Chain A
């Protein structure tokens, strides 16, 4: 029996309580992502891109609505907040692998290699530079195999060469997977995605081509 893989957002609403009222960030997002879809979502600063990614990833609960996950969805990749300073890169790898039920022994070489940490892989994270942390975070995100990757583009850092490497690892080696990329820049969305959205007034609007999405987005 073939299990159908998809991810569906049904009327997602998210409110934040702030001083002096309620900020309605998402006001009813409906989105169906099939396996292999590469979703690009353009949105201005503060339009709720990151909130949307977090809700898709299950980091945050929506105020209303439902997320149906019938794919293995990643956490928003390259997240660095989960590092405990006194743990080494290696410890963090083991932790992530245990959480996701993957044998860590198979992943050590890959993460060590990809993150370019060398001997620092076995040193506490608190001794890392910002770049080293970012590389470790990215390497850990792709060490686990997911069917759908969530990318908040603002969060992806590192120098140019490393970014190229990430791009190759994600967009070439894993191009058959699903992706959700949110950004305020056209770069990756234009070149890589096959469905285009603009997040606007708390809802997503789909456009048939990137050019149309970009035109609408630029007029905002």
Chain B
């Protein structure tokens, strides 16, 4: 038991060190530093929302566009960028395994944690600013937002392990097709649609992706009865459980393959 806590302490220390390292590497120490983390999504959301609201049309299907884009964009970016960061991270940090305390799982977890923390921060901060400035309406149900977001974070974790391990096992084939695949998933996950807009016969197919369920939950949290949400918490949870399990098994196989120079 004492050994367990000692190992846990070391692992937390290592993950913290890796996160700090990643922050400095990615955003540098000059000018606004890690605040860059917030800049990219803010520019995208403000830009896209602006185009949709003022140039295309002010309101789509009777919904406030800003809320719609804000929820869809960040929620789906959360799990997709996390996965791509983790996928790129293993190869880039391979030499660090020279330090025996640093294990591949620490590299994975540090990136996942950093990305989830950053995106959650962006989501909350932007939400706060948007509500305060009346760009979007205050949420109708925090419960649905938190639950949907939580399931999305879990999906980010499971999917990262799955995709990054698969990439290692297939000698970087996943990375080569990642562009179109992630774009497909981004669109297919409901970034630009509500399930109720789809023809009834197509809805079951759209609902195969757990991210669609999660996003419906998050959006319902904002819109309330302005929309009819389609989600199944047990489906999303089971999917996450299964994906995490498969991801960890594949991770195990993938770590056998990585070799330090």
Contacts and interface: CB of A to CB of B under 8 A. Distances in A.
Nearest to A76: B98
Interface in A72-122: 73, 75-76, 79, 81-82, 84, 86-87, 91, 94-96, 98-101
B24 to A, nearest CB: 6
Contacts of B25: 84, 86-87
Given A58-B100, A59-B97, A99-B13, A86 B20 contact: no
B14 A99 contact: yes
Given A54-B260, A81-B261, A82-B96, A99 B102 contact: yes
Contacts of A101: 10, 13
Nearest to B13: A101
24 contacts: A54-B260, A57-B98, A57-B100, A59-B97, A59-B98, A59-B100, A60-B259, A73-B100, A75-B98, A76-B98, A79-B98, A81-B261, A82-B99, A86-B28, A87-B21, A91-B21, A96-B99, A98-B13, A98-B16, A98-B17, A98-B20, A99-B14, A99-B17, A99-B102
A7 to B, nearest CB: 13
B95 interface: yes
A95 B98 contact: no
B101 A99 contact: yes
Contact of A75 (B20, B99, B259, B261): B99
B182 to A, nearest CB: 25
Nearest to B97: A59
Contact of A82 (B13, B20, B28, B95): B95
Interface in B213-261: 259-261
A96 B99 CA distance: 9
A87 B20 CA distance: 11
Contacts of A58: 100
Interface of A: 54, 57-60, 73, 75-76, 79, 81-82, 84, 86-87, 91, 94-96, 98-101
Nearest to B94: A81
Contacts of B97: 59
A76 B98 CA distance: 8
A35 to B, nearest CB: 19
Contacts of B102: 99
Contacts, number: 52
Given A54-B260, A59-B260, A81-B261, A87 B24 contact: yes
Interface centre among A84, A86, A99 (most CB of B within 10 A): A99
Contacts of B100: 57-59, 73, 75
A94 B20 contact: yes
Given A60-B259, A99-B102, 16 more contacts: A58-B100, A59-B97, A59-B100, A73-B100, A75-B100, A76-B98, A87-B25, A91-B21, A91-B24, A94-B20, A95-B17, A98-B14, A98-B17, A98-B20, A99-B101, A101-B13
A54 B100 CA distance: 10
B101 A100 contact: yes
Contact of A95 (B10, B21, B28, B260): B21
Contacts of B24: 87, 91
Given A86-B25, A99-B14, A81 B95 contact: yes
The 9 closest A-B pairs by CB, nearest first: A58-B100, A98-B17, A81-B95, A99-B17, A82-B95, A95-B21, A82-B96, A59-B98, A79-B98
